[in-house]
Homo-oligomer: A and B are copies of this chain.
Amino acid sequence: MVTIKDIAKALNLSPSTVSRALRGSYEINPQTKQLVLDYAAKMHYYPNPIALSLKGSKSKAIGVIVPEIAHSYFSQVINGIEEVAYKRGYHVVIFQSLESYEREVISIENMMARRVDGVLISISSYTIDFAHLQKLRDNQFPVVLFDRITDEIDTFKVVADNFAGAFAATEHLISTGRRRIAHITSLPWLSITQERLEGYKSALAKYDIAFDESLVKYCSFDAGEITMAIKSLLALTDSPDAFLSMADRLTLSCLTNLKEMGINIPTDISLVGFSNLTVAHLLDPPFSTVVQPAFETGQTAAQLLLDWIEKKDKNVDFNTKKLPMKLLIRKSSQL
């Protein structure tokens, strides 16, 4: 590994001159500059980013925390983040919280110890205390929230238009004549859960359909829970004629369960689910999905974060970006 010192020695110059030539900063003798540049190129000189970090107290790395990497939605988000970061000379350090609050806190500490320049995070399902994030913000540290956000932290946020997505899906089901639409969703305290529920309610209201609490099921990550939820829905006297599931794992679980029970989709029950699976059209039946703008979410969040990091004045005007959802109607909800 060639260093500035090596070059200086070889060219009989001082390290500072070489440094300046390399970054063209001060008015250097053009010849000296050319000499240095040529020699550096010949020797494959690369500045040592670690020394740079130590000097400038910025690491040119950003941290990302997602609940799980191997999940179509999040891997697509990471893809978007990586694309932007890569172009702007940052690298991406990934951690997964595995939906655990403790792991999320540890990951944050880890990242700070690693001196990342900023953090992108989609908060875990079991995070209800945000002190670890607030502490970062208190220290003026750049944090951008995406997907699963919270009101408790004042910062940039990037989300999908969950309200609109749920509204559109519900309206679509209503337009096919469905009136008893079950709403299978995630944990009640999550922002996405609440926004989606509002979209659902709002669509019902638009068509004068009474909201029925018993059609809403909140499911944790226990696989048995969703099976129970579905069974109890089907046992209702006025049982549902449609299922709207609000997360990938729920969507797949609904499909698996209903098929196992021998229920005909969409004749008996229509199905629409939030999902970023790329194979929805190949499922049996081809599955109607509300698709989240995963890649764009990653890009947008990364852009906001990097702009913020690189901004000189620390006066930032926070806002929340809402990206459009896409409703793809397929056979599982077509009557």
Contact with B along A176-203 (1 / 0, CB 8 A): 0000000000000000000000000000
Least distance between A281 CB and chain B CB atoms (Å): 8
- In the complex, A277 has a CB within 8 A of chain B: yes
Are B59 and A70 interface neighbours, CB within 8 A? Answer: no
> Which residues of B are found within 8 Å of A227, using beta-carbon distances?
none
- In the complex, A78 has a CB within 8 A of chain B: yes
> Which residues of B are found within 8 Å of A70, using beta-carbon distances?
72, 75-76, 78-79, 295
> Which residues of B are found within 8 Å of A110, using beta-carbon distances?
91
- In the complex, A24 has a CB within 8 A of chain B: no
Are A114 and B91 interface neighbours, CB within 8 A? Answer: yes
A93-B93 contact given A255-B282, A284-B282, CB 8 Å threshold: yes
Q: Which residues of chain A in 253-312 are interfacial with respect to chain B, using CB atoms and an 8 Å cutoff?
A: 255-256, 259, 277-279, 281-286, 295
**Which residue of chain B lies nearest to A295 when distances are taken between CB atoms in the complex?**
B70
Are A59 and B69 interface neighbours, CB within 8 A? Answer: no
> Which residues of B are found within 8 Å of A285, using beta-carbon distances?
284
Q: Which residues of chain A in 47-76 are interfacial with respect to chain B, using CB atoms and an 8 Å cutoff?
A: 47-51, 53-54, 59, 61, 68-72, 75-76
Q: List the number of copies, as a whole number.
A: 2
- In the complex, A46 has a CB within 8 A of chain B: yes
> Which residues of B are found within 8 Å of A114, using beta-carbon distances?
49, 91
- In addition to A61-B93, A69-B82, A284-B284, 15 A-B residue pairs with Cβ atoms within 8 Å of each other are A49-B113, A49-B115, A51-B54, A69-B78, A70-B78, A70-B79, A71-B75, A75-B75, A78-B94, A79-B96, A82-B95, A256-B281, A256-B282, A282-B283, A284-B286
Least distance between A96 CB and chain B CB atoms (Å): 7
- In the complex, A123 has a CB within 8 A of chain B: no
Are A82 and B96 interface neighbours, CB within 8 A? Answer: yes
Are B82 and A94 interface neighbours, CB within 8 A? Answer: yes
Give A contacts to B, CB under 8 Å: 46-51, 53-54, 59, 61, 68-72, 75-76, 78-79, 82, 86, 91-96, 109-110, 112-115, 252, 255-256, 259, 277-279, 281-286, 295
Contact sample, A vs B, 9 pairs, CB 8 Å cutoff: A49-B114, A50-B59, A50-B115, A69-B78, A70-B295, A78-B94, A93-B93, A252-B282, A283-B284
> Which residues of B are found within 8 Å of A283, using beta-carbon distances?
279, 282-284
Are A48 and B115 interface neighbours, CB within 8 A? Answer: yes
> Which residues of B are found within 8 Å of A256, using beta-carbon distances?
281-282
Please measure, in the bound complex, the distance between the C-alpha atom of A59 and the C-alpha atom of B295, giving whole angstroms: 30
Please measure, in the bound complex, the distance between the C-alpha atom of A286 and the C-alpha atom of B282, giving whole angstroms: 10
> Which residues of B are found within 8 Å of A279, using beta-carbon distances?
252, 277, 279, 283
> Which residues of B are found within 8 Å of A94, using beta-carbon distances?
78, 82, 92, 94
Please measure, in the bound complex, the distance between the C-alpha atom of A53 and the C-alpha atom of B114, giving whole angstroms: 11
> Which residues of B are found within 8 Å of A86, using beta-carbon distances?
95
Please measure, in the bound complex, the distance between the C-alpha atom of A49 and the C-alpha atom of B92, giving whole angstroms: 16
- The one of B51, B92, B109 in contact with A93, judged by C-beta atoms closer than 8 angstroms, is B92
> Which residues of B are found within 8 Å of A282, using beta-carbon distances?
252, 255-256, 259, 283-284
Least distance between A211 CB and chain B CB atoms (Å): 30
